[in-house]
Structure 1
Amino acid sequence: MNISQEKKDSLNAVIKININTEDYQARVNKAINDQAKKATIPGFRKGMVPASHIKRMYGKSILVDEINNLLSDTLNNYLNEQQLEVLGQPLPKVDNAKEYNWDFTDNFEFNYEVGLAPEFTVDFGPEDKLTNYKIKVDDETLASRIKNLRRSYGKMTNPDVSADDDVLYGELAQLSADGSVFEGGINNVTSIRLDQITNEAVKASLIGLKKDDVVEFDIQQAFDNDAAKVAGLLKIEEAEAADLKSKFRLTVKNVNRLEESDLDQAFFDKIFEPGTVTTEEEFRTKITEELESMMVQDADNKLQGEMYKHVLDKINFELPDEFLKRWLKATNEKLSDEELQGGYDDFAKNLKWTLIGNKIVRDNDIKIEYNEVLDLAKARIDAQFRMYSQQPISEEQLSQYAVQFLQDKENANRIFEEAKSLKVFEYLKTKVTLNEKEITFDEFSKLPQA
């Protein structure tokens, strides 16, 4: 057997594998004999089928299988021995000029295209400057959070007259240009949240309404031409909502109001472990601590995004793009050319980040321990539970869920890669200059995304 590599350029190569009869004959004979021992064929006792009979019936398919196995073993061993860092997987080159008889005497030649990882250096220092935001919990943010919690655990009432934050339950009917109800037009019963209406004039027209009141308004104006919101309210397609010009008549059937929960012990015990918070002052302190924790994570996520962009801008190298596109198409049969074109840039950025991260981990002997992966899995699961309930689950349950979660190979790989990325991020934070900047939550929320 002979295997060689021909470099097309620094990022692309072709690996050529020549296989002679003596390279595969023993493997094929063994496979035929093994199948003869296990075969159940009418007219022969099990285990007594002659190998020549198996060869005559299944010889070519066995030969193909063994050649494929030999190719796979040979190629993998070669890549390991040569320490070639390839991207994606080798792609076989189809040569229609070569035809084989598959009669156990052929010599074979197979060519594989490979995409090679680029060479680059990682060099970060104090000259690399990024902003690390310190988000303040201002009174407005605290008050808004407390209001949302009180509303979440409040009770529904039906006041006589609508006010600013109420919900109007009623019938919407599409109108013609002359103000009459449009025959065959949109007509449905729905709920309108007044706090979601962006136009103040329209909102004012819907405040002070009582049951059975009738009012006309421009629904596009009400939601500032937000097609998604209009479509959701009218239960129509978003494209249809975008083209809608009609006014609508609202007939109020009911006024709903979510009254805020009292700041009492029953409310405190719904939010936190019963008995841990007993006064309004303790409640405000706890909510402030939670907000600060969330804001630290928000600021960290912002810094990670800025770091990601800075790293990719600074370490700029080429990839074997055409090879990678062919590989993506070969391994994703349903991937259209449009999807490939639209998503390739993001794929390439993520691949570059992975290559840079792997180099940082390798060059600095950074270890990712199992307990770190487990802790990260627990954190992600805990965050999911908190989306549905403020009450935390026990540490024992969390550990059990995390262990089960990591038994799935795909989950384990994803959490491992996330843990590795966090380690890379922490390493980079020690190398660059982080300029701390204090900022309000409102100011932070208006910052552009990285």
Structure 2
Amino acid sequence: MQVTETLAEGLKRELKVVIPASDLASRLDSYIEDLKGKVQIKGFRPGKVPTAHLKRMYGRQAMAELVNNLIQETTQKAIDDRNEKPALQPDIDLPDDDAEAILDGKADLAFKMSYDLLPEFELIDFSSVELERPVVEIPEEEIDEQIRRIAESNRPFTTKEGAAEEGDRVSMSYVGKLDGEAFEGGSDENGQLVIGSKMFIPGFEEQLVGLKAGDEKTIAVTFPEDYPATHLAGKEVTFDIAVKEIASPGELVLDDEFAKGLGLETLEALKGVIRGQAESQYGAMTRQKMKRQLLDKLDEAYSFDLPQKLVETEFEGVWRQVLADMQRAGKTFEDEGANEEESKAEYRKIAERRVRLGLVLSEVGEKNDVQVTDDEVQRALYDRVRQYPGNEKQVFDFFRSNPQALAGLRAPIYEEKVVDYIFSIAKVTDKTVTKEELMADDEDDQAEV
């Protein structure tokens, strides 16, 4: 095998690989000799089929298989011999004009392989990285309010005679119509609504006041302009209502008996559960804010050439998602006051950031022996499977037969473990913030890894 470097610009490499026809012929002879003892051909005793006959029958097919295997072997060997780390699998260019001659054993196997190298860079001292951990102190009033909301959803109601009032629960059937035609999702045979809960479209609940069991009424309401179902947004519709029952609310008593009805021993135990849930929710937001800080600092700290094919692959994924989101929303770039080419440039920057940060986190993990266990991947797989009830077997089979998809489950686990490793080294300072400050979205979530 002869390997000649034909291009070395930045991270780009291009090699020409030549394997003499004599080597191909030698390999073909060995292949045919091995085949002689395996095939059975009518008219010949086992192992006695003439080599020339086998070559006529299987030569080109065998040579095609040998060429394919040789390309894979020599590609990897060429990279190993050069002690290089490609960012992606090399692209192979085998001229079509030479294919027939190669298969006939009349030409050398010559092909070009091109690839981008992974960049080399030094890791910074992460103990010098300063991060702020936003912490929310959960007031007792918030816990009490959450318990009151739970109590409201479990409030007892008693059937009453007479007209519906604020706070009463109305049991009814209703059919929503747009331009006189029933619309999808606008009907319910056994609907229930507490007047004043603001759970329905604005203007709906108010028109239930005064109705009694057995009453029928058609009411008109207008959907909000920002209603998620675009075909209903801003539209006036009617609802044909048939009232089945009016029930008045019972008294709420927040005590140990109430907690027992929810499966807990005491009201204090219920408060502990609610506080734990709030701390877990805020803790996840805190970690997300810290991670965003870290990624921003890493983005500022590192500047190196990027493998362009890796960037292009990432950009294509991002751009496909952008176009799909716009199509689902029925929007165009003009609707958003944007220019497509300018938008592409912005999203390419996002792709470059993702690639850069991905390479940095990968290097951190490799240098510090961060590992993802099979059990962790298995748990992630089970979590994914649970998202598709009724299709569990198909999802399992897909991941087990698709190593790339399984790697897609491993990657985010690895990333989070690397981030945790850096957190453990960095200088972290707690900062008390309000719930609103913690929950405020940063401008560009898409810029994360």
Instruction: Provide the TM-score with structure 1 as the length reference.
Output: 0.71
AA at the equivalent of 2:187: V
For the pair 1:241 / 2:232, whether they are aligned, the reply is: yes
Query: Is residue 352 of structure 1 aligned with residue 353 of structure 2?
Result: no
Equivalent position SS for 1:38: coil
Taking structure 1 as reference, are residues 155 and 312 closer, same or farther at Cα in structure 2, changes over 3 Å only? farther
Question: Alignment length, in residue pairs?
Answer: 400
Residues 343-397 of structure 1 show CA distances to partners (whole Å, capped at 9, x for unaligned) of 876655443333111222334x334274xx6368659968998xx9xxxxxxxxx
Cα distance, 1:292 vs. partner? 1.9
5+ unaligned residues in a row in structure 2: which ranges?
325-343, 390-398
- Whether the 8 Å CA contact 2:381–2:409 is kept in 1: the answer is no
Shift of 1:29: 1.8
Give the structure 2 partner of residue 295 of structure 1. 282
Alpha-carbon distance, 1:78 to partner: 2.1
- Decide whether aligned partners of structure 1 residues 127 and 217 sit closer, same or farther in structure 2, where only a CA change above 3 A counts: farther
- Is 1:428 the counterpart of 2:422 in the alignment? yes
Residues 1:126 and 1:37: Cα distance change in structure 2 (over 3 Å):
closer
Alpha-carbon contact 2:170-2:246 (below 8 Å) kept: yes
Instruction: Report whether the alignment pairs 1:361 with 2:365.
Output: yes
Distance 1:169 1:440 in 2: 41
Percent of aligned pairs with the same residue?
A: 18
* SS of aligned partner of 2:76: helix
Report Cα offsets for 1:144-181 as digits up to 9, x if no partner: 543565577778877773756967643234365xxxxx
> Hey, what does 1:66 align to over in structure 2?
66
| Superposition deviation, residue 116 in structure 1 | 1.9
Say if 1:163 and 1:208, in contact at 8 Å, map to a contact too.
no
Residue-by-residue CA offset, 1:421-440 (whole Å, 9 max, x unaligned)? 23321332245443322234
User: 1:167–1:77: structure 2 CA closer, same or farther, 3 Å change rule?
Assistant: farther
Q: Note the 1:181-200 alignment, pairs <5 A.
A: 182=180, 184=181, 186=183, 189-190=187-188, 191=191, 195-197=198-200, 199=202
Contact between 1:138 and 1:440, CA under 8 Å: does it hold in 2?
Answer: no
By how many angstroms is 1:111 displaced? 0.5
Task: Note if 1:441 corresponds to 2:435.
Answer: yes
Q: Which residue identity is paired with 1:70?
A: L
CA contact (8 A) 1:4 1:17 kept: yes
Cα distance in 2 for residues equivalent to 1:158 and 1:406 = 56
Distance 1:327 1:42 in 2: 55
For 1:358, the aligned partner's letter is: S
CA shift for structure 1 position 107: 0.8
CA–CA distance in 1 between the matches of 2:95 and 2:401?
42
User: Residue 16 of structure 1: CA displacement?
Assistant: 1.3
Change beyond 3 A, Cα 1:38–1:380: closer
What SS does structure 1 have at the residue aligned with 2:35?
helix
Aligned CA distance change for structure 1 residues 70 and 114 (closer, same or farther; 3 Å): same
Q: 1:4 deviation in Å?
A: 2.5
Q: Which residue of 1 aligns with 2:90?
A: 90
* 2:88 match: secondary structure: strand
Corresponding residue for residue 75 of structure 2:
75
Post-superposition offset of 1:412: 6.2
Question: Which deviates the most, 188-197 or 127-136?
Answer: 188-197
Change (3 A) 1:171 1:416: closer
> Does the CA contact (< 8 Å) of 1:153 and 1:267 recur in 2?
no
* More displaced 10-residue stretch of structure 1: 85-94 or 137-146: 137-146
Residue of structure 1 aligned with 2:220, choices 185, 210, 217: 217
Structure 2 length normalisation: TM-score?
Answer: 0.71
Quote the residue 2:22 is aligned against.
Answer: 22
1:251 pairs with 2:251: no
Residue-by-residue CA offset, 1:54-95 (whole Å, 9 max, x unaligned): 211121121111111111111112222322221221112354
- 3-state DSSP of counterpart to 2:89: strand
